[in-house]
Amino acid sequence: MLEALLLILLCQLLGETLVQLAALPIPGPVLGMLLLLGWLFLHGGVADEVGRTADTLLAHLSLLFVPAGVGVMLHWERVREHWQALALALVLGTLITLVVTALTMAGMRRLMAWWRRPSGG
């Protein structure tokens, strides 16, 4: 548990450091995730313990967004003033993005399967 937590924190720390040093436009934890992924590929696997620690953290991923979400109370005025524009962009914009992404990826899969069929027999 402790070693696994340390591995995760070290990846995050390294990510944060590299982002600062190279002035990268992405946040440290996202780079940290790629670093951990690279480490797992190099190491050739996930120790059970690391896997369990990650699963525990990810099981309650939604909870971790609550404190930032409560911050909506700082923006009542703006939200009330622009609620129609915001509601439309949030609901319709998000669902359009979801549909376009799913259709593009599913379409590409179908295209690749069709491409492979004649040569694969």
Partner 1 sequence: MADARLSDIWVYLAALPLLWLTATLTCYLIALRLYRLAGSTPLLNPVMVAIALLIGLLWLTDTPYPIYFEGAQFIHFLLGPATVALAIPLYRQRHRLRALALPILVALPVGVATAGLSAIGLAALFGAEPAILLSLAPKSVTAPVAMGISEKIGGIPTLTAVLVISTGVVGAVFGTAVLRLLRCQDPAVQGFALGLSAHGLGTARAFQVDATMGAFAGLAMALSAFATALLLPPLLGWIGSG
Contacts of residue 24, Cβ cutoff 8 Å, sequence gap at least 6: 18, 31
- The one-letter code for the residue type at 89 is A
| Least distance (Å) between residue 17 CB and partner 1 | 13
Footprint (CB under 8 A) of partner 1, residues 43-102? 46, 50-51, 53-55, 57-59, 61-75, 78-79, 82, 84-86, 88-102
| Least distance (Å) between residue 67 CB and partner 1 | 4
**Applying CB under 8 A, does 1 fall inside the site for partner 1?**
no
Looking from the CA of 77 toward its CB, the CA atoms found within 13 Å total 1
| Least distance (Å) between residue 26 CB and partner 1 | 5
Any idea of the CA torsion for 94, 95, 99, 102, to the nearest 10 degrees?
Answer: 60
Radius of gyration of the chain (CA): 21
Residue closer to partner 1 (CB basis): 58 or 118: 58
**Applying CB under 8 A, does 20 fall inside the site for partner 1?**
no
**Applying CB under 8 A, does 6 fall inside the site for partner 1?**
no
